[in-house]
Amino acid sequence: MTVQRRGNPKVVDANGIEKKIKRGHALRQASAWRGSRGPLVLLLGALAVCGVVTWLYISSQDSEITETLVSQGELVSPQPRVFTVQCSEDYENYKRYPGCTPQKCGRAVTDNVVTREEAEVLRRLAERGLALAGSEGGASILDLHSGALSMGKQFVNIYRYFGDQIKEVFTQDFELYRDVRVRIQAAIAETFGLDPSMMYLTKPTFFSRINSTAAKTQHDEYWHPHIDKVTYGSFDYTSLLYLSDYGSDFTGGRFIFMDPNGNRTVEPRAGRISFFSSGSENLHRVEKVTWGTRYAITVSFTCDPAHAISDPALPLATHG
């Protein structure tokens, strides 16, 4: 019988086994890296997108203040600061009134028409009237002409709702209010080369009170961009008289002209008047108020006598 020869048994190489184990670990780690690389790339991509979005957001916030036309700390006097813009074609769609319809368009700011003391008197008038009710949201209005007053989510007529008691609220007549309207009208006429006798007060003309309370109805959403000539129809010239100070009475609440090449702001100052032609050349909005309370009066004018309204006056006493 043939004897089969067996080879010598192999000697275990501990060092070799250790090397194989390390190599196996390395391969598994490499495999794990390859497996996780996809999600990691997605995560890095998401972070990059977030970074871009954040940068764009910051840039858009900065674009809100492309240029500050007039800051709160400036005193624009004696002459108004005028910024001319090209008139839009809007006015071609309306009847033209020589001596009034805009031929020169733009915007202007002045601190030389109403004093800060007069603005304080008008603010107290607004505070007394708006204290009767007010919106549940952040924006309340009081129209002394029609008597419209924000109350909750609707409006009431203060002259009908409160009757003769309204005279106890408004302890003085509206003489200063009327006098200020005349001065604003004269300033607009002089700036735009108009005949003031061809300009007429038009509605709505109102006090506004804006704070940071969340909006409850669309009437509270004052911050949307709009064009006065489109929104109201009768407007040809719009003015705002500010009754409180940006930065000390409230933050946010700046007036923003939205031009094709950037946004330009006016910072409110008590007694300051900002006025402008009402067409689409002056698309604008109000920045959201973030703190405090912003008071102002909107006073607007039309060239169409059919849309004229009278100055406000307290109604005659009723007798039972």
Which residues are annotated as catalytic?
Answer: 294
Tell me the C-alpha distance between 304 and 10, whole Å: 112
Scored b (16 or more CB within 10 A) or e, 243-263 reads bbbbeebbbbbbbbbbbeeeb
67: which 2 tokens? 């240029």
Name the residue among 207, 209, 258, 199 with its Cα closest to residue 234: 199
Residue 50 corresponds to which amino acid?
Answer: C
Rounded CA separation 165/149 (Å) = 15
Q: What 3-state class would DSSP assign to 196?
A: helix
The packing angle between helices 175-192 and 116-130, to 10°, is 120
Which residues, at least 6 apart from 151, have a Cβ–Cβ distance to it below 8 Å? 133, 134, 135
Neighbours of 229 (CB within 10 A): 24
Phi/psi of residue 286, each to 5°?
-110, 130
Return the beta strands (E) in the chain as ranges: 67-70, 81-85, 105-110, 134-135, 139-142, 148-152, 154-157, 200-210, 237-242, 250-252, 255-259, 262-266, 273-277, 284-286, 289-292, 294-302
Q: 246: which 2 tokens?
A: 């940006």
CA distance 277 to 280: 9
Task: Using CA atoms of 137, 142, 146, 147 in order, give the dihedral in degrees to the nearest 10.
Answer: 90
